[in-house]
Amino acid sequence: MVRLKMKTKDKHIQNLAEIVGGAHSILYQKEDLIAYDCDGFTLHKHLPKAVVFPKDTKEVAKLAKYCSENGLPFLARGAGTGLSGGAIPVNGEVIISLVRMKRLLSVDLENRRAVVEPGFVNLKLTNSISDKGYYYAPDPSSQYCCTIGGNVAENAGGAHCLKYGVTTNHILGLEVVLPNGEIIEIGQNGIPDAPGYDLLGLLTGSEGTLGIVTKITVRILKNPEAKQTVLAYFDHVSDGSQAVSDIISKGIVPAALEMMDKTAIEGVEAAAFPVGHPKDIEALLLIEVDGISAGIEEQINEILEVCKSRNVRQVKVAENEQERARWWANRKTGFGAMGAISPDYLVQDGVIPRSKLPEVLNRINEISNDYQLRIANIFHAGDGNLHPLVLFDARIPGETEKALKAGSACLQACADAGGSITGEHGVGIEKREEMRFIFKDEEIIAQTDIREVFNPHNLLNGGKLFPSPGRCVEIKKEIKAAAGS
Ligand SMILES: Cc1cc2nc3c(=O)[nH]c(=O)nc-3n(C[C@H](O)[C@H](O)[C@H](O)COP(=O)(O)OP(=O)(O)OC[C@H]3O[C@@H](n4cnc5c(N)ncnc54)[C@H](O)[C@@H]3O)c2cc1C
């Protein structure tokens, strides 16, 4: 038995420490826990009971079993970059941090797959295999620090997911620790059309509410032979939005098709990676095509033609890799860049049918006027995944609440347009109530019933993803009562 020198008499904390090998693998004092009181959604903060750092699956399983048997709420945490509050310990959870499980376990180029531990950072995978001509496609803008375990939980997307698909399209197998501590393997390592339920699909995007992912087999892709990138400036948002629709309806599927509006451009130009975009344009498009060299030129010409037909003010093709990289750095640091023009900002994440872009962007503009708050838009236009960034100042009394309401109104606009309340950042605690914009109570209950099978006492990441149980539990009772009568 490990001798523990701990400044606490709390039995649970001592027992948890013992599971992970000692006092050096647990945090439990207030000054240490403060760093874990929120994730990238900073508007809610709660202290965890403790943070434990397991080194392998067995320790994760023992921790889950211990928490379940002792009624302790718990949750998994990767890098804590989530933007919907999924890793916030709202019930004073024990946080199981996966950051020590960060190894690249194997690379199998022949079968185009790699196996990683959950704490492995997204970008490190591409960096580890690029010299062999391969890469990992899902590229959230946070990829330099977010973990692949967190990506699986959130079904993360990214700029290049338009052509290649989001995380779920690249996951071939998972090892998962269930809330009771059992370890299961799902996905048969990529054997197509495996019999039985699609548990891989269910677990991917389940926001850490069904189990803790401890090993991930991912698909890796061969680097495209060629790629080219176009930057287009528009005087009117409607022309930019229309160009997006025109490009896709021509049958071109760009690897990426990103848009920024005027306020967003003001932010990125004031931040760390300015590229000299004109300040008076209303919108810009960043478009990338990739594939075999032979077809690229033709696609680029078609894109240039579309932009011209939509009154583009200026359009250019990146002259070299340095220029392309500068344009992408400017785009990918867009969220953080809002800090250069506003003391605080709230990132929203709705998704709409592409054809509704002009209509919904107009509505977001109206919301901005209604709430008297600036809203910047930086988004994956190609797949209709909007990111309205509501700019506010938390020091002004009432402004945070106003920003939350404006954000919610943006999501309502997406739902009204036939879209959804999240494209990639998840629901977490941030959008629980907004789930009602797209699901009826019965549909929410169908989903919480599934959660109950995996997580019967809701101890693993409880209070996330679904609206507060009250109304649903009532409805469930009513349905049962009606069925019995
Ligand atoms: C600047 C910035 C840009 C971003 N850009 C994008 C983007 O382009 N696309 C995008 O999709 N997202 C983006 N995000 C959001 C975020 O980076 C992603 O959601 C990412 O997948 C979270 O990974 P993480 O390791 O930080 O997870 P965390 O924030 O630590 O956790 C997120 C959720 O996953 C659960 N979880 C974590 N690890 C596990 C595990 N091993 N098993 C089970 N559950 C687990 C947690 O309980 C929590 O519910 C961005 C965030 C920031 C701050």
Domain ranges of the chain: 11-97, 104-222, 224-341, 344-377+386-438, 441-484
Alpha carbon dihedral 167, 168, 171, 172, in 10-degree steps, equals -160
pLDDT score of 188: 73
Contact 430, 405 (CB under 8 A): no
Same fold, 11-97 and 104-222: no
pLDDT at 477: 66
DSSP SS3 for 284: strand
From ligand 1's centre to the CA of 347, what distance in Å?
14
Model confidence pLDDT, tens digit, residues 247-259: 999 999 999 999 9
- Taking alpha carbons only, the member of 160, 309, 314 closest to residue 242 is 309
- How far is residue 441's CA from residue 449's CA, in Å, rounded to a whole number? 12
Q: Maximum Cα–Cα distance for the chain, whole Å? A: 74
Q: What is the pLDDT of residues 214-234, one digit of tens each?
A: 999 999 999 999 999 999 999
| The domain defined by 104-222 carries CATH number 1.10.1200.10 | no
CATH topology (fold) of 224-341: Alpha-Beta Plaits (3.30.70)
**Ligand 1 pocket list (CB less than 6 A):** 39-40, 75-83, 86-87, 98, 118, 140-142, 146-147, 149-151, 153-154, 156-158, 207-208, 212-213, 335-336, 424-425, 461
Q: Are strands 94-97 and 171-177 parallel, antiparallel or unpaired?
A: unpaired
pLDDT of residue 4: 56
Atom of ligand 1 nearest to the CA of 424: 11
Q: Could you tell me the fold of the domain covering 11-97?
A: 3.30.43
- Give the CA dihedral 273, 274, 277, 282, nearest 10 degrees: 70
User: Ligand 1 atom closest to Cα of 81?
Assistant: 26
Residue 271 is predicted with a pLDDT of: 93
User: Going by CA atoms, what residue is nearest to atom 7 of ligand 1?
Assistant: 140
CB 358 within 8 A of CB 238: yes
- Residue 55 pairs in a beta bridge with none
pLDDT for position 421: 95
pLDDT-flagged residues of the chain (< 50): 1
Q: Tell me the DSSP string of 360-394.
A: HHHHHHHHHHHHT--EEEEEBGGGTEE-EEEEE-T
Which of 81, 338, 347 to mutate for ligand 1's pocket (most ligand atoms within 8 Å of CB)?
81
Tell me which amino acid residue 55 is. K
